[in-house]
Structure 1
């Protein structure tokens, strides 16, 4: 089953599935990521629009997602917000000119994109040279015990939801040609991290 099909299938219960983590951790992390943002922002993998309430009103936000059904929920959250536009689009093939965004953002997205390096290269391409790529993600831990469990469970999570819990995301960011300027460990030692980089 394709990534689109899986997210279309889960779109109506996606927010419910993530409610515990949203209440315990995600909400506070989102506040940290989006506070102080300004300019033109691209959110890759906007999903059901959970980040929409956190954007400052003076940001011009474009959100894209590969799943039209996920995006239908995001459109409800964006109703009445003139600074937010939403489009169905593939992260690996962004339909924007080079260097047109001040910030490019993902939150818990790089785990499910089929070719994350290709998507990150596209993010680097559309980000202004002085701009920032911001990735709030979960990934494979450097702790061997945690990584062992992630590797063990990954076939199950990938099969059921399309999510890979053992992606080498820091390495993928570097392979895409981005220069990491901040790597902040958030939870489960270093499974959850906030990474900021420059083109």
Structure 2
């Protein structure tokens, strides 16, 4: 039923073609390797192989494919693991269908898809634990963000807002190649692997205001 609903939403966009549907995580990995899609929509709770493991397998075998993880607010700890596994973004199962379509296009363009609501809950999950450990982590992130140039911090804030490289370039009036250089420098400076991890740092460091 969930797959049928997703297919109906995606079919409403003529620019999106659904090439395959998987009934379990292992099948999702196999179909990804067969079809090499631009984007995979991955549920966390999948039979045979869970969606988190499947995401990690896909990113190892097909790094050019973006994985959007479907989640609920009750699965924050799983979202954190998916983030570490290379997921490109997170979409709410109960979200607006228009947001899902926008997320697919954003992921296909190589940008992150992290809505403000999901980001807040992810951060809440990451912040669980002892206050001392949380303070140490936040202090370290603040130092890394402060070490970035003013332009890199500007790009980080826009990246955290979900903008693609092309959109960031138009916003700050530079060519896309220059934005890619900024993004690469940001990843190195923050010690992150992808745009979503960078977005989390942007939220936690206060570059982006948390909104309800």
Whether TM exceeds 0.5 here: the answer is no
Which range, TM-score by smaller chain? 0.3 to 0.5
User: What TM-score, normalized by structure 2, do the two folds share?
Assistant: 0.35
| The structure with more strand, counted as a fraction of residues | 1
